[in-house]
Structure 1
Amino acid sequence: MKLLFVIGALLSSIAIFCQSNAQDSASLLSDSSVKLWKLGDYKNALAVINRSLNIARKTNDSLQIAKCLNNTGLIYISIGDPVKSIFYYEQSLKILRVLPKSKDFPTSLLNIGIAYKEQGIYDKALNYLFESVGYFEEWKDAKKQSSAYNAIGNISRIEKNYQKSLEYHFKALKLRESINYTEGIAGSLNSIGVVYKELEKYDSALIFLQESIKKAAKGNSPTEHLANTLSHIGSIYVKNKNFNYAKKYYDSAYRIRRSVNSKKGIAYSMLELGELNYVSKDFKQAEKYLLLSIKSAEEVNASDVLLKCYTILRKLYKETKNYIKAIEYDDLFIILNEQVLGEEKLKSLTQMQIKYETERKQDEIENLSRDKKKREAELLAQELQLQSKKVHTRNLVIVIILLSSILVLVLILFRIRNRFANRLDMVMREMHHRVKNNFQVLLSIFNLQLDHIKDKESKEFIRSNCNRITAMMLIHRELYFDKEITTVKVSDYIQTLVENLLTAYELRKRQIDIRYEIDESISLNVDNAISMGLLINELVTNSFKYAFGADNLHPVLTIILTKLASSHTLIVKDNASDSDKVIFNKSFGLKLVETQVKLLKGEMKRFTSDGVEYRIIF
């Protein structure tokens, strides 16, 4: 008995020693992968971190597994694959939440928040970022806390909440100044400058951007971030029509991008210089820089730069009356735009598939490992226990396997259902996006024709059709961006539609009092929303064309939409004078209005007691 105890103790000591060595190896490999990541060698960094992860799983070192998963996420975010990055961050966070809290936990929250920001999923990003701030504040990690504030500020800027954006960028700046974090201070100053630039407060923007340059200049060597700051300053001078200063800063940005061999940056600098020369009417130089930008952008497949170049070139050739070239770049823009949309769709589908396969394989590995350990434990128990307990153990194992199988089957069915629902949602959004793009192409073609048509009646006919297309296109745009893909919230849609008509008929300079009384809770299905949009388009167009003549000194347009029980009431009313109460009895517009009223299964009445009022109940 004593001999067996000694042998058991010896084997236990050897196992602990081996496990300790394995854990050290996993930690060293993880550190090596971080060094490779910082050097930009992402391929080898992934290979090394995978080895570290395998060792950590074999030793069941939960903290090291979480660190490896987090580092894998860092590598994928640098590669430009935020979907995989988020997957690995989520896996890391799932483990860290059940472990005693360490500094790795809020760092993981910060990383996943930034990854969601890069994907444009701002609500989730903000949840993780705000959660991380609490821990960083508690543990006095000012550097990472400032990074979280900076990310929150950037999201607020993207969402046009500029006041909140400035609040968090100034918080980040204060923290970075308290720890003398020079690079971070330069970044915060740049971010604040960009917010002021978007607010069109150019003097304030220049102050902060210039300060950012001074801080960045204290670094060892110029960086792409410094080049971006110089570009922002250049763009402000373009806005102020100070083209000489703009060129000076654009040239400085270009030199830095050449020195760091940023091919996309070089393409962007050529684009900036091309746009500068286009705005300053030096079309020859503009053409030269834009063609150089296209050449550089094609080398690195920078589609965003190419699309901007094509847009400016088609305007340039149009202004220089080189219509063949204008049409050529118009076609290139349309083709590339469609290609980019297709690539994004394919990439999204591929990423979803990879994510699903990765989850499935990881579950299989964990299930196999769990089953293997369970079988070993059962065998050991059977050897040590009495013969009478064997049948009981065997039956227990069978029950567990059956329950596990049922659970796995339920999980698989649940995932299949979720995948189908997600794909259906994606297909519907893609359909609305395609329809919107096709309408946009039609509008581009009509607008191109307008420049060549002299006949006023023909021009008016095409402009009216453009407005009708816009009314339908806005529906599909709302459906593409909204969470709900089958109904349209009409409040924002109606106001956007009227704003477009104001622009189309060049009435923004007139002080037209437009009054909205719209129930914001009203949503309509796609067909009814399109019919109502065409109705409003025709009635508002009629008011703009006939009701607001020169003798109408205080033009007023009122749009009311209410809901009562199962019916809706739409009122479009103007204050036309007696001489302006034009009845379009035989016009195409009236026929279209009557057709849409029938489609809505409603009825329309017209009143002329105080202006002209159309009341539709449907």
Structure 2
Amino acid sequence: MLLIFKFFDLLLRFSKRIYVNLNADWSCNPLPKIIYSSCFFISLCLFFNNQLVAQDNSILDSLHLSYEMATGDTAKVESLISLGDYFLYKNLDSTITYYNKAQSSVDELESTIQAKYQPLLYHYTSIAYTSWGYVKEGMDYGQKALKRYEAQGMRAEASDIYMVVGVLHGQTGEVQKGTELLLKSIAIKKELNATEKLGHAYMNLTLLYRDQGLLDVAIESIDSAINRFKGQNFEMGINRSYQIKGEIHKFAGNNKKALEVYQVALELYQKQTSNDIKGEVVLINSIPGLHRILKEYDRAISYYEDGLDLLKKTDDKELEGLINHNIGGVYLEKKDQEKALAFYKKGLLFYEKIGHPTGRSRSYRGIGNVYQGVEKYDSAIVYYTKATNVLASKKNLDYGDICKNLAMLHYQLYSTTKIESFASAEQNLKKAQLYGEESIACPAANLEASLSRYKILKTIYQATNDYEQSLEMANKVIELSDSLFKKNKIDAVLDLETKYQTEKKEFAIKNLNQEKALQLAENRQQKIVLYVVLGLLLVLLLILGLLYWFFAQKRRANQELISKNNLITNQKKVVDRQNEEKELLLKEIHHRVKNNLQIISSLLDLQSNKIEDPTAKIAIADGQSRVKSMALIHHKLYQHENIATINFKEYTEQLYHQIMASLTSIEPTLILEVDATISFDIDTAIPLGLILNELLTNACKYAFVDHPNPELKIKLQELEQGNYLLEVQDNGKGMPDDFQFQKARSLGLRLVRRLSKQLFGKTNYENRNGAHFNIHFKDTALRKQID
């Protein structure tokens, strides 16, 4: 019995670490992530004794002295276990070292002693690893302990490890498996009449039910825990149970009720005799989350500061790290990145002092969020990478979210550097793909989170030209989008049903209160009450009739809504399929047009070979150049994802190199000042491309004859909504002094004037140390408005 009592004390101490460790981000999120909430199970079900772990060197010296003076084999084992217990909060390596020494000593003893100590040491080791965030190792040792308990028929002890292993299954996302193990633990405890720990089991079960969305059952479960703890007069259990009840109401989105229950728990803590300061701090850490939802940031910070003041009475570095981290989160929500960064780094210092991996990963992620928000992507990547290194062995929800952030950042860097440094851009693209694939391999908190991961990976595959994988991701995006659409519809219907049921219950309660009041009044004035009751019965019948009519109308409306929703869903599928078919058809059209224009160009080329007249050859070459400029537009349209518009900067670069390759052996220096975000549809792009083709061709033919340093400048800017200015300038000899652009008779310049008018614009010419053409024009949307 002594060993079992020691084990439970250690379990209580372990629970504190998990409780604090996994409560970081819930304070600002009314819908906690399933993985984190599963981790929270242990924290809330297994309470701790503040007196069990000594904090001063005299206790450590005493433990070493006890080990040195121990004479019996079992006494040495007990001393080694106590030394391991001492370091549980201080140093994981020291804890494991002493437990392993105890295990080695046990292995040399007789089999009966081995049977007694081995499962217990496995149990201790499981708790130690899990309390420091090493879930896999904690699960492995927990399974070893469970196997030996079951082999020896130690059912009471097995029911305890069922709780621990069940919680660990919840932490890895296996919530249903965790629920089964907890129900098994409760059944064994009831069968053996071992009811002293049933309160803890019900607390665990409460949070598992919550994570499955079974909120009514969760409330019943936590009420059972409260009743158990009240029967045992267990203050900490009662206080923590009310705190969990508040968490469930917050999870359900009932913030007002959650705050009421939190206040009850806070009052209980303030009246407590057990001096559970750290438990009170954990509660205070939860309350600000409701104020953050309401954007009452100053009140939230005030609560956090109260928690820090209370922590001055303790030496809990982990809680200090957590609260500083949460204050950083508040400042980040307030867009005060400087203070957010300061508090995140302050929290990180506390986590680093105690070597806590989960806390460090949380801080790294917070710092990364700050740097990403201020567009310091390189710094953000450094801290996100540190977080993934800590979480790599877990592959949990947080790991998946951080990998998604890294994928996005590397893709952004790829997009911004692909022109300047191809090698660097390719490296970023490879990293983006790696992190994107990692993210979809991890669990996600909800459909929205999963959808965002697949969307970014689809974009990355498109950039790598892996169209097969991109198509697969696109199909997954469509599938998740449909699922999310259906879920939102179901949630809306359920919300209406819940509101109706709530109103119905409130109405029933109101009726019961009225009947009770009538019964009390009946003792005083029976005759008056008789008339009142008859009147109320008539009113009640009328109300019931109205309620029945309302319910029938509502049910009919709901059925019509469901029918319309189904119709809309089917029509959406048809429209989506038709849009996909039209998009494919339009791409094929652009492809065929491009091919036909290339054929025309080739025919002109063949025809020019048979013509000896130089003037005719030049005319055909000019026509061929114009055909190629139009073909390039159709080529860009069918190659890009957006088949309606083309990026004018990319088109200009390709057109320039295409013309230079055919007209000059020395390529002029190009100065291109075009915003990379400017795109035009085909109605604007083709005339604009032909104008640019004519001006570039003229420059190559006439501007740079015997010029040592030819230079071309192309500038496009949006003057105001829909109005643009295209400037084409060379440093050649320019037009003759008597040149008048509006009267020029050359086919090319006439074509420029006509196309400018087609774009509702005008072309002007100036000689600025070379020819300088200004083309003012309007895009398609503005032209349609004018028409």
User: In structure 1, how many angstroms separate the alpha carbons of the residues matched to 2:73 and 2:172?
Assistant: 31
Q: Which residue does the alignment assign to 1:77?
A: 130
Per-residue deviation at 1:430?
14
Aligned residues: 404
User: In structure 2, how many angstroms separate the alpha carbons of the residues matched to 1:69 and 1:536?
Assistant: 45
Per-residue deviation at 1:177?
1.9
TM-score with structure 2 length normalisation? Answer: 0.43
Write the letter of the residue equivalent to 1:173.
Answer: I
2:572 paired with 1:572:
no
2:181 paired with 1:128:
yes
Task: Name which one, 1 or 2, has greater alpha-carbon Rg.
Answer: 2
Write the letter of the residue equivalent to 1:152.
Answer: L
1:327 to 362, 366, 375: 375
Distance change (3 Å), C-alpha of 1:571 and 1:439: farther
Q: Which residue does the alignment assign to 2:364?
A: 306
Distance change (3 Å), C-alpha of 1:65 and 1:477: closer
Contact 2:229/2:237 (8 A) holds in 1: yes
User: In structure 2, how many angstroms separate the alpha carbons of the residues matched to 1:269 and 1:447?
Assistant: 38
User: In structure 2, how many angstroms separate the alpha carbons of the residues matched to 1:538 and 1:304?
Assistant: 30
Per-residue deviation at 1:530?
2.8
Q: Which residue does the alignment assign to 2:296?
A: 242
Distance change (3 Å), C-alpha of 1:31 and 1:190: farther
User: In structure 2, how many angstroms separate the alpha carbons of the residues matched to 1:499 and 1:47?
Assistant: 45
Q: Which residue does the alignment assign to 1:481?
A: 443
2:231 paired with 1:269:
no
User: In structure 2, how many angstroms separate the alpha carbons of the residues matched to 1:148 and 1:165?
Assistant: 12
Q: Which residue does the alignment assign to 2:194?
A: 141
State how 1:452-491 maps to structure 2 within 5 Å. 477-481=439-443
Distance change (3 Å), C-alpha of 1:68 and 1:480: closer
Write the letter of the residue equivalent to 2:382.
Answer: I
SS in 2 for 1:214: helix
**Deviation sequence 1:515-535 (CA, Å, 0-9, x none):** xxxxxxxxxx96752353588
1:530 to 467, 470, 473: 473
% identity of equivalent residues? 12
State how 1:431-446 maps to structure 2 within 5 Å. 439-442=407-410
Write the letter of the residue equivalent to 1:246.
Answer: A
Per-residue deviation at 1:245?
2.9
Per-residue deviation at 1:134?
0.4
Distance change (3 Å), C-alpha of 1:494 and 1:92: closer
User: In structure 1, how many angstroms separate the alpha carbons of the residues matched to 2:100 and 2:478?
Assistant: 61
Distance change (3 Å), C-alpha of 1:135 and 1:213: same
Per-residue deviation at 1:88?
2.7
Contact 1:29/1:51 (8 A) holds in 2: no
Contact 2:400/2:443 (8 A) holds in 1: no
Contact 1:471/1:534 (8 A) holds in 2: no
Contact 2:399/2:439 (8 A) holds in 1: no
User: In structure 1, how many angstroms separate the alpha carbons of the residues matched to 2:574 and 2:232?
Assistant: 61
User: In structure 1, how many angstroms separate the alpha carbons of the residues matched to 2:331 and 2:578?
Assistant: 47
Distance change (3 Å), C-alpha of 1:198 and 1:33: farther
Contact 1:82/1:116 (8 A) holds in 2: no
2:252 to 171, 187, 199: 199
**Deviation sequence 1:580-617 (CA, Å, 0-9, x none):** xx98975978766899xxxxxxxxxxxxxxxxxxxxxx
Write the letter of the residue equivalent to 1:130.
Answer: L
Write the letter of the residue equivalent to 2:473.
Answer: I
User: In structure 2, how many angstroms separate the alpha carbons of the residues matched to 1:239 and 1:538?
Assistant: 27
Per-residue deviation at 1:144?
2.0
1:94 to 147, 156, 162: 147
SS in 2 for 1:103: helix
1:230 to 262, 267, 284: 284
**Stretch deviating more after TM superposition (171-180 or 227-236):** 171-180
**Stretch deviating more after TM superposition (89-98 or 175-184):** 89-98
Q: Which residue does the alignment assign to 1:544?
A: none
Write the letter of the residue equivalent to 1:233.
Answer: I
Q: Which residue does the alignment assign to 1:464?
A: none
2:203 to 150, 153, 156: 150
Q: Which residue does the alignment assign to 1:599?
A: none
Distance change (3 Å), C-alpha of 1:78 and 1:475: closer
SS in 2 for 1:113: helix
Write the letter of the residue equivalent to 1:339.
Answer: K
Distance change (3 Å), C-alpha of 1:290 and 1:226: same
User: In structure 2, how many angstroms separate the alpha carbons of the residues matched to 1:52 and 1:147?
Assistant: 33
Per-residue deviation at 1:280?
4.9
2:288 paired with 1:254:
no
CA root-mean-square deviation: 5.1
Q: Which residue does the alignment assign to 2:226?
A: 173
**Deviation sequence 1:178-219 (CA, Å, 0-9, x none):** 212111112211122122223332221112222222333415
SS in 2 for 1:110: helix
Distance change (3 Å), C-alpha of 1:308 and 1:193: same
TM-score with structure 1 length normalisation? Answer: 0.53
**Deviation sequence 1:285-307 (CA, Å, 0-9, x none):** 55654554455555556231232
**Stretch deviating more after TM superposition (76-85 or 182-191):** 76-85
Per-residue deviation at 1:133?
0.9
Gaps of 5+ in 1: 1-23, 316-325, 349-425, 450-469, 483-490, 502-524, 540-553, 562-568, 577-581, 596-618
User: In structure 2, how many angstroms separate the alpha carbons of the residues matched to 1:287 and 1:153?
Assistant: 36
Contact 2:337/2:370 (8 A) holds in 1: no
User: In structure 2, how many angstroms separate the alpha carbons of the residues matched to 1:221 and 1:37?
Assistant: 25
SS in 1 for 2:575: strand
Write the letter of the residue equivalent to 1:272.
Answer: N
